[in-house]
Structure formats: structure tokens, C-alpha cells
Structure 1
């Protein structure tokens, strides 16, 4: 059995926003401008789920953006970019080196990055195609295809303050997301843990108890920007959408 408690949890030098029960903004406040990556070969419909609740009524204005548009510099028109589910390596390939550099520059200069499942793989510092935005590697990498099922996550005290002040445990859909643990990249700050896995999926030869205790939601800073990564899928039809919404709000530095 491998326990994540054996790892040194590094604290990121980031600010903790006030508790947020709702991300609906006052009428005089501009909505958070959110770009959601999609491209024909992605095979993901994650942007559709996100666009159902990232609407002006809830304080957001969401737009689907292509890898080509990112390479052209269109992220300058947004506050946050979301890399949704699908394939992290596929997203990296579609972005190409120029697009990956554009994302890094966007965040370094103050933009927000939200990675969901594949987008969390992409943000990590683990793979040759990673964006290296957050000091995280993938635990039990050889069993990435561990399965799909609902699991339970437990928010940390900081996670409860940042993402929810009503519930500390959530039932949430998991679909081969990364099991995140700290990496040791000297040029990146340590990340802060917002939630851990309390239950697991262990199919296709994955060992039992390897997933429990690993990090489900993490956050950090990259340059002047903010990065938050979700291993499971809070954006699915049955949510919990509030975790994604408050995470985006934090990434946009709207506290």
C-alpha cells in the first residue's frame, strides 16, 4: 500500500480567497471571461457540460476556443482558460509547441488555468509534453487506465474555504484522471491540496489502495497567474458544478 502521507506536501505562496457560496456576481461586475479548449479530433464533449452553467447569470461568459486561436494569441481576450477532459497528450499535440508556449505565457502574465482530468495531466510537470505549470507528477502512472466510476473526495480545510463552506465531502465522477502527488521541480512552487480521494477505482490491473489519499484537486501559482487542477469531473450533468465554478473564480483572481 502506498500512502500519499509519505510525501512532503509543499505549501504554495498563494493567497486564500474568502469563502464563496455563490459565484453569481453583482450586476455592475464584469463576468469572468472563460475560454474552453476544443478541437475536432478531441473526442470530448466536456465543453458542452461547462457551457451549461458558465453563463452570464452565474457570472461567467464562456467561449469555445481552438488550438489555432490559442496559437494566434487569442487568449489575451480572456481571464481564464479551461483545458477539459479528453486526452492530455492529444491536447498538447493539437496545441503544438507554439500553442503550449502561448498558454504558459498567458498564465505567467496573470491569466488563470483550470485543468480538468486531461487538462490536469497537461498542466503537470510529469510528461515531455506537459505545460509544467504546476509542480505535480502522476502517481501510479502505469495504471492510468484504472477505470470510470463515481468516487468520494474529501476537501481539506483550505479546500473547504476556497471551494465550499457547506460540504466537505462530495460524490463525483472519475474517469481515468491523474492521481496527483508533489513533484520536485526547483523552478516551480509547491502546490496546495484542496481535496483528496477517499474512495477509489481499481480496474484493469490497477492495485487497490493506491488511489486513496492522492490529490484530487490542487492549486498553485505560475508567474503572476493561478493554476487549479481537478482530477475528477465536477462539470458533468449531475455536478457538483459549484466546485468548478468557484475554482474558476479563484483562478480568475476575482476575490
Structure 2
């Protein structure tokens, strides 16, 4: 099998992995480094603009970041490079803030995924462990049976997007020409969170942890953009630790690893 090279995006100008605060990126980096045939590099906005992601199979924005700062660090040219990279066959994997940035819900985001985001006004909810329900029909395209057969999984939700597919499995001609693919819901939220420190409403909105605002919305989505594959996850797939084996499988799917194998 050919090696897959994953570029993990970092906003630190020195290229130190996501700074000392971003546990999410550090855990993911460790998971991928332990995998055979997966190589990782760290790219800043500056390095991305210089390299144009040459030699990269998958571009990843992990969770734990501030999406507006990540957007700024990418810059207009960097965002175009990422879109062109995916359109031409590269993979994109975004978790939490990386899932937000993948959508076309706000001007200046990457616009790889055509979804509506529910209740952005109260997005800063806080978080905790939540159950997600897998959609086997779509999950089995990405994951091995050890995951698909579990039906539900615990995952860490921390202020990620609540995604809503409005396409009904269809694409208009204009959306198709723009590069968007059919949205396939891999998992949806199946429970609500018992918020931590819910009395601190300066940073949390505990009244929006209801079934109306959480359950049923898409938690993980797979789709295409141009010739490339896109996987976005609102919850942090790297936590709890029992889920970490999902991440290399997502990388291989977004890298279209079966295409790489055919070249051998």
C-alpha cells in the first residue's frame, strides 16, 4: 500500500503542533504517527500557501481551535488552495472547528459542504459526552464492521456544529457545477448533554441542550467536493479513547486508499 500523507493544520507560526493548548490535535497526531503507511506533517497558513499542499493526500483541521482565527490564518489564498486541492481529488477531514470551516454556512469559510447549521446564536453551549447513532448504510462506506455494528457510540461534544441536510439527497445543477456532492449522514446525535457548570451562562446556554436543539441533527457527514472526499465530525472522535481507531479509517477513506492500492 502506498503511504498516505496527512497535513494537520496549525495556526502557530512556528509550526509547533497546535500550541500547548490544543489537546485534540496532539492526540490525533499521536494516533496517526502510530499507524503504518500514514505520515503526518504540520502546516501553518504560511507553509500551506508556499507548498500548495503538493504531495499531500489529506488535509485535516482538528478540533480545539477558534474557527475565526483558523479562517484568518488560512487567508483568502489559503482557502482557495484547500478548495482546489479537494476539488482535484484531495481529501479533507475536519473535526469540530474544522467541521464548521468546511461548510458554506458563513462567508469566508471553505464551502466544501452544503449544509445549514442549526442555532448558531447559541453555539457556545459547552459540552460533555453524548451518544451518537450510526447510520449503517452510510457508515459502512467509511468504517469497518467493528464500528458499524455498534449502532451507537459515546463521543465528546464541545460546541461543534449541529448540521442539517436540506438537499433531500438531491443536487441542483448549480450546486453540482459548484462542486458539491450528495450529503450522506454517517451519524446523528441521539441524546442530550448534561452540561457542566451550566449556571455559567456567560459562556454556556444550558437551556439549548434540549432534544429540540440536539437530538436528530447530523453529527458526522461524508460527502464529496469535486473529485475529492470530505468527512466532517461535530463531536471529537478522538475522545473517549475507545473511538480512536475510527480516525485512521476516516483518513484512508478520504485519501481514497483503494485508488492508491490500484496503482501498485
Please indicate the TM-score interval, normalised by the length of the shorter structure.
Answer: 0.7 to 0.9
Cα distance between partner residues in 1 of 2:35 and 2:127: 32
Q: Once the 2 structures are TM-superposed, how far is the Cα of residue 51 of structure 1 from its aligned partner?
A: 1.3
1:240 pairs with one of 230, 235, 243: 243
Q: Is the 1:34–1:61 Cα contact (8 Å) retained in structure 2?
A: yes
- Where structure 2 has 5 or more consecutive residues not aligned to the other structure, the ranges are 196-203, 259-264
State the distance in 2 between where 1:66 and 1:158 align. 36
Matches within 5 A, 1:161-200: 161=140, 162-166=142-146, 167-183=150-166, 186-187=174-175, 188-200=180-192
Residue in 1 that maps onto 2:225: 222
Q: Give unmatched runs, 5+ long, in structure 1.
A: 1-28
Match of 2:210 among 192, 208, 211: 208
Structure 2 CA distance for partners of 1:183 and 1:125, relative to 1, 3 Å = farther
Residue 40 of structure 1: how far off its partner (Å):
2.2
- Hey, what's the Cα distance between the residues in 1 that align with 2:37 and 2:235? 23
SS in 2 for 1:54: helix
2: CA distance, partners of 1:249 / 1:213: 27
User: How many matched pairs?
Assistant: 227
Q: Secondary structure at the match of 2:257?
A: coil
> Would the aligned equivalents of 2:155 and 2:240 in 1 still touch at CA under 8 Å?
no
- Backbone CA RMSD of aligned residues: 1.9
> Relative to structure 2, which stretch is displaced further, 98-107 or 206-215?
206-215
Cα displacement (A) at 1:239: 4.5
* 1:15 matched residue in structure 2: none
Give the TM-score normalised by structure 2: 0.80
Matched residues in 2 for 1:235 and 1:141: separation? Answer: 24
Higher relative contact order (CA 8 A, sep 6+): 1
| TM-score with structure 1 setting the length | 0.83
Q: Is the 8 A contact 2:164 2:218 kept in 1?
A: yes
Cα separation, partners in 2 of 1:224 and 1:164, compared to 1, 3 Å: same
Q: Quote the Cα distance in structure 1 between the aligned partners of 2:138 and 2:129.
A: 20
Residue 65 of structure 1 corresponds to: 43
Q: Which has the larger radius of gyration?
A: 2
Distance 1:73 1:213 in 2: 40
* Aligned position for 2:253: 250
Q: Would the aligned equivalents of 2:192 and 2:209 in 1 still touch at CA under 8 Å?
A: no
Preserved contact between residue 79 and residue 112 of structure 1 (Cα < 8 Å): yes
